[in-house]
Amino acid sequence: DVKVTQSSRYLVKRTGEKVFLECVQDMDHENMFWYRQDPGLGLRLIYFSYDVKMKEKGDIPEGYSVSREKKERFSLILESASTNQTSMYLCAIEGTVNSPLHFGNGTRLTVT
Amino acid sequence: RKEVEQDPGPFNVPEGATVAFNCTYSNSASQSFFWYRQDCRKEPKLLMSVYSSGNEDGRFTAQLNRASQYISLLIRDSKLSDSATYLCVVNMQGNTPLVFGKGTRLSVIA
């Protein structure tokens, strides 16, 4: 069974803090993704990576960066957290043709 | 035109009812299609893939209409446990990230 683990289920940070969201997978997949989800806006792609040390901007990369130093780990970084980054953050990996994305159970981040 | 569009709902239906959702997509070259289910405050999970020939899994039937560029999800004999948000997901082109609709919320009422 595919396992995608996000390091924190709930996180509260202050404005201006540097925030790291970690995602670890156990399936040796190349493709990893970070989304945020907000009411009324659906899932929006922040960044993705097709291999170690590779990264691609998604639809809303502003205010975020990522790191992929090892294949199994994909980190999302908020360099200076702001209140408009309060959201649910979801990491996903690409599975098989018939099961294209497996999600972690999400990190609910609150920036105060 | 938005790439993947869904009626946000909510659809409020009684137990036992049949309910159908549609999802339209903008790119005629789109290659693969999926329905995901998301429970409140949980991550999305794959419900079913949508094949050209249609796909049925118990009470759930998914269909693709390439000519009109939409996919559909039909739920028969609705259960309370079917209450969730249903996300339409499309692979627009080759090895590019999947595109998600904003979801349709279903509430099944006793």
Long-range contacts of B43-48 (CB under 8 A, 24+ apart): B43/A90, B43/A103, B43/A104, B43/A105, B43/A106, B44/A43, B44/A90, B44/A101, B44/A103, B44/B87, B45/A103, B46/A99, B46/A100, B46/A101, B47/B73, B47/B86, B48/B73
Distance CA B89, CA B109 (A): 26
Task: Report CB contact under 8 Å: B34, A33.
Answer: no
Handedness of CA B94, B61, A103, B86 (dihedral sign): positive
Is the pLDDT score of B109 beyond 80?
yes
Which one, of A56, A28, A58, lies nearest residue A45 by Cα?
A58
Residue ranges in chain A whose pLDDT is less than 70: 95-99
Q: Return the pLDDT at A3.
A: 87
pLDDT of residue A99: 67
Residues of A in contact with B97 (CB under 8 A): 33, 45, 48, 58
pLDDT in tens, B27-73: 888 888 999 999 999 999 999 999 888 899 999 999 999 999 999 99
- Of residues A42, A48, A97, nearest to B97 (C-beta): A48
pLDDT digits (tens, 9 = 90+) for A94-110: 866 666 899 999 999 99
- How many beta-carbon contacts under 8 Å exist across A and B? 43
B43 closest CB neighbour out of A41, A97, A106: A106
* pLDDT at residue A98 in the model: 64
Residue among A15, A27, A37, A20 nearest A106 (CA)? A37
Q: Which residues of A touch B95 (CB under 8 A)?
A: 50
Q: Which residues of B touch A (CB under 8 A)?
A: 8, 32, 34, 36, 41-46, 49, 87, 89, 91, 95, 97-98, 100-103
Mean pLDDT of chain B: 93
CB-based contact B102 A42, cutoff 8 Å: yes
C-beta neighbour count of B55 within 10 angstroms: 17
Q: Which two tokens stand for residue B59?
A: 């009470």
